[in-house]
């Protein structure tokens, strides 16, 4: 009888401890945040994802009452940064600025997958959809997509193009262009769009598929020449730049930016981050900044982002197979 009583007592104590712990966790979630939040950008500084992250981090910090620090973890086409967040404590203090690369393309291309884009993350909000753009150094003797195709066909294997890394949307943009236009270019991957862009401006690499936000200032300044945007329609901020699809039938790519937390992050924390993100995206200064480079604001719910990731993987899978891109 004593042993049974002791077991019952221990069980009751364990139950009480569990209830108390749950109460503490719930209280902590309701008080969130009480410390600095790290927003991991899985690419080098200076690219489109970095630009969007820094704009959003500032506005979200104002609403949350705690600073959001942007940390660039470049490499492996975004996989290093994404994997870091997937393995982080699920408390909302380490979050990811994910993209179509980290949550659709890389998982489809990689033979060895460091994380699952659906099961290893808690979706927070789809922020923006961003056009890509084909840019060249002004010294390259072409002024249109058609002229570039002619040049590449006359001099196969002589030219190269830069991207933000293997498996990124910019890499796939180039490979899809090669496939549909019937041309050859050597791919030069970087750890992010920023370093790649610097080398294209310096004419170390003459061609690049970039996110429109990070190239827009160079296009306006004349240090880069825009030949075409990668979306089906022309970008409102650059109406004179044609869509590549106007010359290369069926061509379309784009990227997007979204916030993700590690799997198991409390729903209350996800909801708080989502509310702050949506408030930031509605801010007039943010709306104006996004419009400068034709980024379409979304500001979704966590559930909508989860469905978006599934839809993106279904959409890009046949494109990745047709482009023949596979990464170790």
Which of 247, 218, 66, 40 lies closest to 136, judged by CA?
A: 218
197 compared with 320, residue with greater pLDDT: 197
Check if the beta carbon of residue 60 is closer than 8 Å to that of residue 46. Answer: no
Distance CA 98, CA 104 (A): 10
Check if the beta carbon of residue 189 is closer than 8 Å to that of residue 109. Answer: no
pLDDT in tens, 242-284: 999 999 998 988 889 999 999 999 999 999 999 999 999 999 9
Per the listing, tokens 């890499």 go with 171
Check if the beta carbon of residue 151 is closer than 8 Å to that of residue 127. Answer: no
End-to-end CA distance of the chain: 62
Which domains can be identified in the chain, with CATH numbers? Answer: 34-129+255-323 (3.40.190.150), 131-246 (3.40.190.10)
pLDDT in tens, 59-82: 999 999 999 999 999 988 889 999
Among the listed ranges 2-6, 32-36, 43-47, 74-78, which one has the minimum average pLDDT value? 2-6
Which of 255, 266, 308 lies closest to 122, judged by CA?
A: 266
Written as six digits, the tokens of 85 are 């967040």
Biggest distance spanned by C-alpha atoms of the chain: 93
Distance CA 72, CA 234 (A): 31
Query: What's the DSSP call for residue 242?
Result: P
Q: CB neighbours of 177 closer than 8 A, spacing ≥ 6?
A: 134, 183, 209, 244, 248, 251
Beta bridge partners of 257: 99, 128
pLDDT in tens, 12-41: 555 555 554 444 444 466 799 999 999 999
Written as six digits, the tokens of 166 are 């293997």
Check if the beta carbon of residue 208 is closer than 8 Å to that of residue 163. Answer: yes
Q: Is the dihedral of CA 307, 311, 317, 320 positive or negative?
A: negative
Check if the beta carbon of residue 162 is closer than 8 Å to that of residue 208. Answer: yes
């Amino acid at each position: 009888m004593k042993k049974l009583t002791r077991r019952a007592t221990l069980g009751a104590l364990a139950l009480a401890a569990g209830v108390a712990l749950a109460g503490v966790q719930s209280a902590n979630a309701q008080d969130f945040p009480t410390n600095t939040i790290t927003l991991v950008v899985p690419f080098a500084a200076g690219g489109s994802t970095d630009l969007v992250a820094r704009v959003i981090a500032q506005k979200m910090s104002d609403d949350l009452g705690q600073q959001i620090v942007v940390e660039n973890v470049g490499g492996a086409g975004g996989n290093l940064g994404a994997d870091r967040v997937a393995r982080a404590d699920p408390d909302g203090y380490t979050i990811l600025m994910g993209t179509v690369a980290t949550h659709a393309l890389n998982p489809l291309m990689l033979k060895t997958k460091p994380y699952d884009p659906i099961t290893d993350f808690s979706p927070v909000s789809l922020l923006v959809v961003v056009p890509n753009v084909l840019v060249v150094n002004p010294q390259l003797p072409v002024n249109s997509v058609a002229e570039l195709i002619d040049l590449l066909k006359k001099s196969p294997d002589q030219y190269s193009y830069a991207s933000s890394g293997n498996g990124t949307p910019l890499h796939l943009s180039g490979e899809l262009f090669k496939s549909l236009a019937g041309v050859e270019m050597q791919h030069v991957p970087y750890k992010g769009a920023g370093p790649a862009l610097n080398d294209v401006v310096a004419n170390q690499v003459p061609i690049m598929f970039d996110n429109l936000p990070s190239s827009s200032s160079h296009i306006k300044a004349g240090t880069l020449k825009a030949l075409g945007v990668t979306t089906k329609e022309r970008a409102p901020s650059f109406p004179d730049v044609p869509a590549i699809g106007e010359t290369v039938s069926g061509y379309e790519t784009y990227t997007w930016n979204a916030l993700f937390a590690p799997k198991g992050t409390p729903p209350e924390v996800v909801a708080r981050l989502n509310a702050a993100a949506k408030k930031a995206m509605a801010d007039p200064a943010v709306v104006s900044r996004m419009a400068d480079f034709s980024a379409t604001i979304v500001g979704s719910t966590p559930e909508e982002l989860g469905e978006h990731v599934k839809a993106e993987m279904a959409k890009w899978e046949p494109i990745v197979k047709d482009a023949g891109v596979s990464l170790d």
